């Protein structure tokens, strides 16, 4: 459908395969699957969850929120929740929201999900986007840490609204509601200036990672596991080089999943667990750059 090749895609992005949902599968469906696995692994029931925060740019519908739909589908009768729209930084923004609820004592268990059905908003005749994105979801449960237990250390978030023109979905909101014209102009699909996004992401992912480490007295060499947003392998390796991290400390699974926006970091956390690359007490750095532009970094000690 587009002028490209497997070799070009791998060399430019590092992507070898992606996963696309069956027709009729919604973001809430993926989110529920991930949440059920997290609950089962932790030995909890849906009734144990007090709040649900979902990072996504592909909600089932504008309203109600995907969090409302997930709450009902899972049977989390004691939970309230909402969605966070921060594109590829959506999981980190949702994660820190959940962390704040727990740190303040407002809640004891918060379910945080990053999920997207990107195939629903991709124009498969647009080479700038169609070779990049896939569908996926991941979930974590935030709980209080006891004294001397591994815990969240710090976070650093930024937005730069001047980058909105470089990566967006122009129609579907109040500015350009759906019309025959917006559909004909393919304004309900993702539009991206790849060069501008790449340049910004290479600079900011490294910059925010260094800043959050330095203000907590760490260097790149102190990081045991670096889990970045999986947008482009070249962006990841450039950031790892800036931090002085060897390849064995960097989690890369973009070759298997592509860019699932808010789903990439929790999926990469799962990869780190499956490959035995993340141990209890490890210093873990998460980082992302997304449309908006949104930027995020989280520093934590991993707790099994």
Q: Is 188 a catalytic residue?
A: no
**Distance between CA atoms of 286 and 289, rounded to whole angstroms?**
11
Options 68, 76, 88, 232, the catalytic residue: 88
CA 299 to chain centre: 15
**Distance between CA atoms of 34 and 36, rounded to whole angstroms?**
6
Strand 283-290 versus strand 294-301 pairing type: antiparallel
- DSSP category for residue 250: B
Give the chain's end-to-end CA distance (angstroms, integer): 45
- How many secondary structure helices (H) and strands (E) does the chain include? 10, 10
Options 32, 68, 232, 259, the catalytic residue: 259
**Distance between CA atoms of 172 and 208, rounded to whole angstroms?**
31
Angle at the Cα of 225 from the Cα atoms of 134 and 49, rounded to 5 degrees = 65
Options 76, 107, 229, 253, the catalytic residue: 229
Q: Is 259 a catalytic residue?
A: yes
Helix boundaries (H) for 108-214: 127-130, 180-184, 194-214
Q: Is 32 a catalytic residue?
A: no
Enzyme catalytic residues: 88, 229, 259
């Amino acid at each position: 459908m587009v002028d490209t090749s497997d070799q070009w895609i791998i060399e430019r992005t590092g992507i070898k395969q992606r996963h696309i949902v069956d027709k009729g599968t919604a973001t809430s469906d993926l989110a529920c699957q991930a949440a059920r696995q997290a609950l089962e692994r932790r030995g909890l029931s849906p009734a144990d969850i007090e709040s649900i925060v979902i990072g996504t740019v592909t909600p089932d519908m504008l309203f109600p929120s995907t969090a409302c739909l997930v709450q009902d589908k899972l049977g989390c009768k004691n939970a309230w929740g909402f969605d966070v729209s921060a594109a590829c930084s959506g999981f980190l923004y949702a994660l820190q929201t959940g962390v704040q609820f727990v740190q303040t004592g407002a809640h004891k268990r918060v379910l945080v999900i990053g999920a997207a059905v990107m195939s629903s908003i991709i124009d498969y005749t647009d080479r700038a986007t169609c070779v990049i994105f896939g569908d996926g979801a991941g979930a974590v449960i935030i709980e209080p840490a006891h004294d001397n237990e591994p815990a969240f250390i710090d976070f650093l978030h930024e937005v730069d609204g001047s980058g909105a023109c470089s990566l967006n979905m122009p129609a579907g909101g109040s500015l350009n509601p759906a019309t025959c014209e917006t559909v004909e102009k393919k304004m309900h699909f993702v539009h991206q200036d790849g060069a501008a996004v790449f340049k910004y992401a290479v600079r900011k992912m490294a910059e925010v990672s260094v800043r959050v480490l330095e203000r907590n007295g760490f260097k790149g060499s102190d990081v045991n596991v670096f889990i970045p947003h999986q947008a482009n392998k070249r962006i990841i390796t450039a950031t790892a080089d800036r931090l002085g991290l060897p390849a064995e400390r960097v989690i890369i699974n973009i070759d298997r999943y592509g860019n699932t926006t808010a789903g990439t970091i929790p999926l990469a956390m799962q990869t780190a667990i499956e490959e035995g690359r993340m141990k209890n007490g490890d210093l873990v750095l998460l980082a992302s750059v997304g449309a908006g532009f949104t930027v995020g970094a989280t520093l934590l000690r991993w707790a099994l």
